[in-house]
Chain A
Amino acid sequence: MNKSRRDFLKKAGMTLLGASGARFVILGIADAEHLPDSGGSGVRRRWAIAIDTEKCASQGDCTACIDACNAEHNIPRIDNPEEEIKWIWKERAKAVFPHQLGNDSPRTLRDREIPVLCNHCENPPCVRVCPTQATWKRDDGIVMMDQHRCIGCRYCIVGCPYGARSFNFRDPRRAIDKLRSDYPTRTRGVVEKCTLCAERLAIGAQPACVEACEATCGAMVFGDLANPDSAIGRLVRTTLTMRRKPELGTEPKVHYKL
């Protein structure tokens, strides 16, 4: 997205927000001034999520984060796993951390089902390969998607080392359980993925998955990694957390405590 268009949307968005205080649904323009975590000192924010997988696993087959995300974003329910749309879902820890977990690692750890989502990389390969800038990184580090510009070439899916992106092989609107009118639906033939709930950050709320998780076991912590006094800043600086495939240099911002 070019600068002037982005600035225009930003201003338009702020006006909208100020005027109505309504739920803000235009994607990609949020600045999230008033989240409790934000440093506010002019330092560039780095939104991040940390997941305590042990806590998460203690809840068994809990899918609160997934259900909240699906409902929040009008995600279609497609039964064919080859054409599924998923922004956050669970994978076996061994598949998520193939280098760190070997056959001799504790079984409970290896087989643990842990949530995976877009890592909102500092250095996102999907943004690098997209031929139309339909996916781009915001100043606060969120990797966004413009489904109106996406041509459906799927190069971003090919470039993503985490399998975090989904392609609408068919019309998703026919497969939405309960349509939410304040969030856009997508069309056939475009790519989509987690946006870290940019629309919720804009009104000072946490991402839907984190909020839902807080209501159950609180395994997910969201915040500004650039602010050392934030909860996530303290957590990441004092505990050993891992990120997926750090050797690729993508600098993921989803941290896992195994």
Chain B
Amino acid sequence: MLEKALDGGRGYWAWVCTLLALIGLGFVAYLHQFNNGLTVTGLSRDVPWGFYIAQFTFLVGVAASAVVLVLPYYLHDFKAFGKLVVLGEFLAISAVIMCMLFIFVDMGQPMRVVNVILFPTPHSLMFWDMTVLCGYLVLNVLISRVTFRAEIQELPPRPWIRPIIILSVPWAVSIHTVTAFLYSGLAARPFWESAVLAPRFLASAFSAGPAILIMLALLLARITAFDVGDKALHRLSTIMLYAMLANLFFVAMEFFTVFYSSIPEHTHHFRYLFSGLEGAHRLVPWMWFSLILGTGCAIGLLVPRLRHQRSSLAFLSAGIVLAIWIDKGLGMVVGGFVPSPLGAVTEYWPTLPEVGISTGIYAIGALILTGLYKIALSERAVI
């Protein structure tokens, strides 16, 4: 089955080679960081987490979003997702692996990574995050393998896999909940200390995840003979829309609570992100762009014609992904650190090595996804 990933046309290999080149560049950038320490990043005393951890957070959401296919298909027998479910699980596998890589490159002492396993620490949320992410990876590898093999052999999947599939539903919710707990349980950082953070993470994930799946499905329909069908696309776009509306609602809740109560520790972070603080306003245009884009796309998706037409759907999905990526991948983490506990305003921006390493990791994810999708579509004989 795996050999199918090694058999493709010119376009396929050109794409694979491009990814390999990006991975190579990322690796060189990582060697630079490995040899010189995290001083090569834009991180500082006041902003100890940045781009890497933010990408990790965004991608945990992408991984969790496979559940929006698994749940309707397996629990509600929504047949239209039949051809798509395994693609969602493959996306989850690729996203979880990227998450782990982003954590790894963020570590000051990467050679000691096994210490997390050697000294398991249940009172640390990071221990739980590692546990649920590893478990989620195993679940998705197992489920996609068993169900896809059964599909190719035109047999019903083995019955023992069903409880495991059902387990993967709450497990998907858990990975993003625990990731939110990494942040929301910290008295030191009022910006994240909000009970709505986990629900907001899940809502934005269940919007961005389907948006990525829609774009992938539309891309596959264009470059291969595989078409998920309009019914699946319509359902996915509806899920994306309502999850985005829930996300925007949660954002509005944050704004109300923070600004009406007017507790300085809480307002400072929002002011830094949306209007600037003490002359520091690097993220302000990004945050407004994200908010306006996200709201605009949600309004666009409310129009049935725009939601159903493939070209407009592709644009709106891309807008949703970009809006949520800026919110989670730029603003969410850094916003919690400005100002610092001592009131210092230190801005952060990723450096070239950071962007290079991150690009390399995204390329690894894309390569894994490409290989897995290639296998899936070849076995189904649609390319």
* A and B found bound together: yes
A interface residues (Cβ-Cβ under 8 A, vs B) = 2, 81-84, 91, 95-96, 98, 116, 125, 128-134, 149-155, 157-163, 166-171, 187-191, 248-250
- Assess whether B38 is in contact with A169, with CB atoms less than 8 Å apart: yes
Which listed segment binds A: B110-118, B283-291, B308-316, B322-330? B110-118
Of A116, A160, A169, A187, the contact of B188 (CB 8 Å cutoff) = A160
SS of A interface (majority) = loop
- Assess whether B39 is in contact with A83, with CB atoms less than 8 Å apart: yes
- Assess whether A132 is in contact with B45, with CB atoms less than 8 Å apart: no
- The 6 closest A-B CB pairs, nearest first, are A152-B108, A189-B108, A82-B44, A161-B188, A131-B126, A169-B39
B312-349 with Cβ < 8 A to chain A: 340-344, 346
B109 on interface, CB distance cutoff 8 Å: yes
- Assess whether B37 is in contact with A159, with CB atoms less than 8 Å apart: no
Chain A proximity of B190: nearest CB distance (Å) = 10
Known pairs A125-B186, A131-B121; list 4 more (Cβ under 8 Å): A131-B130, A134-B115, A150-B108, A151-B107
Whole-angstrom distance between the alpha carbons of A152 and B104 in the complex?
Answer: 10
B105-152 with Cβ < 8 A to chain A: 106-110, 112-113, 115-116, 118-119, 121, 123-127, 130
> A95-B343, A158-B48 known; A189 and B109 CB under 8 Å?
yes
- Assess whether B108 is in contact with A188, with CB atoms less than 8 Å apart: yes
Residues of the B chain whose Cβ atoms lie less than 8 Å from the Cβ of A125: 186-188
Residues of the A chain whose Cβ atoms lie less than 8 Å from the Cβ of B107: 151-153, 189
Instruction: Convert B73-114 into 0s and 1s, putting 1 for each residue whose CB lies closer than 8 angstroms to a CB of A.
Output: 000000000000000000000000000000100111110110
Interface centre among A125, A158, A160, A248 (most CB of B within 10 A): A158
B200 on interface, CB distance cutoff 8 Å: no
Nearest to B189 among chain A residues (CB) is: A158
Nearest to B129 among chain A residues (CB) is: A131
Instruction: Convert B181-198 into 0s and 1s, putting 1 for each residue whose CB lies closer than 8 angstroms to a CB of A.
Output: 010001111000000000
B43 on interface, CB distance cutoff 8 Å: yes
Chain A proximity of B271: nearest CB distance (Å) = 15
Interface centre among A96, A157, A248 (most CB of B within 10 A): A157
Please list 26 pairs of residues, one from A and one from B, whose beta carbons are closer than 8 Å in the complex, sorted by A's number: A81-B45, A83-B39, A91-B342, A125-B186, A129-B124, A129-B186, A131-B116, A131-B121, A149-B112, A151-B107, A151-B112, A151-B115, A152-B108, A152-B109, A155-B126, A158-B186, A158-B189, A160-B341, A161-B188, A163-B45, A163-B341, A168-B108, A169-B37, A170-B39, A189-B37, A189-B107
Residues of the B chain whose Cβ atoms lie less than 8 Å from the Cβ of A96: 342
Residues of the B chain whose Cβ atoms lie less than 8 Å from the Cβ of A158: 48-49, 186, 188-189
- Assess whether B127 is in contact with A83, with CB atoms less than 8 Å apart: no
Whole-angstrom distance between the alpha carbons of A168 and B38 in the complex?
Answer: 8
Nearest to A155 among chain B residues (CB) is: B126
Whole-angstrom distance between the alpha carbons of A162 and B46 in the complex?
Answer: 11
- Assess whether B109 is in contact with A150, with CB atoms less than 8 Å apart: yes
Whole-angstrom distance between the alpha carbons of A132 and B44 in the complex?
Answer: 22
Whole-angstrom distance between the alpha carbons of A149 and B106 in the complex?
Answer: 16
Residues of the A chain whose Cβ atoms lie less than 8 Å from the Cβ of B342: 91, 95-96, 116, 162-163
Whole-angstrom distance between the alpha carbons of A151 and B49 in the complex?
Answer: 14
Nearest to A166 among chain B residues (CB) is: B45
Of A128, A188, A190, A248, the contact of B124 (CB 8 Å cutoff) = A128
Chain B proximity of A135: nearest CB distance (Å) = 11
Whole-angstrom distance between the alpha carbons of A166 and B46 in the complex?
Answer: 10
Residues of the B chain whose Cβ atoms lie less than 8 Å from the Cβ of A171: 37
- Assess whether B108 is in contact with A154, with CB atoms less than 8 Å apart: yes
Nearest to A91 among chain B residues (CB) is: B342
Residues of the A chain whose Cβ atoms lie less than 8 Å from the Cβ of B110: 151-152
Whole-angstrom distance between the alpha carbons of A131 and B117 in the complex?
Answer: 9
Chain A proximity of B113: nearest CB distance (Å) = 6
Chain A proximity of B60: nearest CB distance (Å) = 16
Whole-angstrom distance between the alpha carbons of A229 and B353 in the complex?
Answer: 57
Chain B proximity of A214: nearest CB distance (Å) = 27
Of A95, A128, A170, the contact of B37 (CB 8 Å cutoff) = A170
Residues of the B chain whose Cβ atoms lie less than 8 Å from the Cβ of A2: 119
B261 on interface, CB distance cutoff 8 Å: no
Chain B proximity of A98: nearest CB distance (Å) = 6
